[in-house]
Structure 1
Amino acid sequence: MASNHHRLSGAPVAAAVDSAAVRITGLTRSFGNRQVLDDINLTIARGEFTALLGRSGSGKSTLLRAVAGLDHGTVGSGEILVPERVSLVFQDSRLLPWLKILDNVVLGLPGKDARGRGRAALDEVSLAKRESAWPHELSGGEQQRAALARSLVSEPELLLADEPFGSLDALTRIRMHRLLRRLYETHRPAVLLVTHDVDEAVILADRVLVLDDGDFVQDLRIDLPAERDPGDPGFQHYRTTLLGALGVLPAHRTKEQS
């Protein structure tokens, strides 16, 4: 597996990689006099689904942008090791309005079979019949499904997702959770999902990190089946633990630590 090794300047150099899909060492990030990330160290294994929780302004998206190499010229230091093939999904689907859905999905995809791969990806997200539609003709949920197809058509080794379902209604979010988990099980990229929703983190991820005051205050493994029931006592236990780490519930109610 090829990889990129970049500092916060974003300059990539070749580097060897072991079983880690992401390796972060000594990452700092500041805005003016405010330290947002303070000497962050993190390893995410290949094929591991990790969710990142934190209060507003805790630095979740800052960390994700650093991993994506999107914070060129910013104030900070540290090293980040990532795979060669990295895809991103944002809260906004970011479909280009002047391109039809299939053209959006295969944009920049090399190879003579690009359109065939794009059609297969759309079929995976149940949009095979909408490949000739314009983005404005799709619902919000359909647009995010198209964005997922676009992010996975290149078979990424790492998928970065920044609150991808935050703008969707509750029922659509439930359907999207099931879809993302199914796609993850099929393609098995490493995933780093930024979310403010504790239930979403427990439903989707196998590991949940909580970021506060520039560092991780919780690193929790989720030992639940792939099909998860929010009403299950085990689910509720993890939920309570994470709410305690976020300061929403009293600390004495959170007994499980990583």
Structure 2
Amino acid sequence: MAEFTVERWRVVVVALATVAALPLFVLEDPDSAGSLTSVADASSSVELALSVPIVVGDAASGTAASDWTTPTSPADIANLADRAEQWHVARSNLPTVNRLAEAARVYEAEAIAMAQEIVAVEFAEREALDAILAARQAEADRQAERVRLREEEDNRRATAISTPGPTTTIPWDTKPVEGGPSAEQWEALRYCEATGDYTAVNPTGRYRGAYQFSTTTWDWIAGLYHERLVGVDPAAAAPADQDAMAISLYNLRGRGQWPVCGRYLP
């Protein structure tokens, strides 16, 4: 509705300008210079009227609407030309920008994947190093325990030799501990019984091997758990067989089967 009103007023303005110019044609000599000037001025007035914005009130909405013609000043034209050039450059560079953005996303994904791989490798290497260090520490702890137990036995022997009287013994009816002795505790027992010698025989010849089995006890345990070892000389049995027999005896009767050296077993 506003556009129709604007166009209507344009027509009115043009008509009024034309009417205003008519006396120039009627009252003046058409051949005179003044008449041409007046006509030219009238034409310029009409052109100026067409290039001026016309503000029309909209009765329905109570607002004013304006209609501008295409800018014709050099500054406006230059501004539009600059904007058009910038738009053209931006549109021309758009494919390149998109390719660069896609390449950046690809490179970023590759960089993230590479970083994750490096982190995984470093984490695995760290875990392996921690395992090695833990194993070394465990071995150092075992060695320290062996040294401590051996020194304890050496001190006990020295005290027993220098001090007259009966040796403190362990009750025979002790119960085994779940899980059994550690390797270091078994080693301390062997050191106490036979200084760790699997072929040791006591002076009377009754107790034999690293655990100083009597032949009676040996055959009894062998008959219960290791029949193939029945009748075998404990001092002549393989170290692994002697170890197995000692474990079976401990699990059955506890550390009391070694009245003196059983002190090193739980």
The normalised TM-score by structure 2 is 0.24
Given the two structures, how large is their TM-score scaled by the length of structure 1?
0.24
Specify which structure has the bigger relative contact order, considering alpha-carbon pairs within 8 angstroms and separated by 6 or more residues: 1
Which structure shows the higher strand fraction?
1
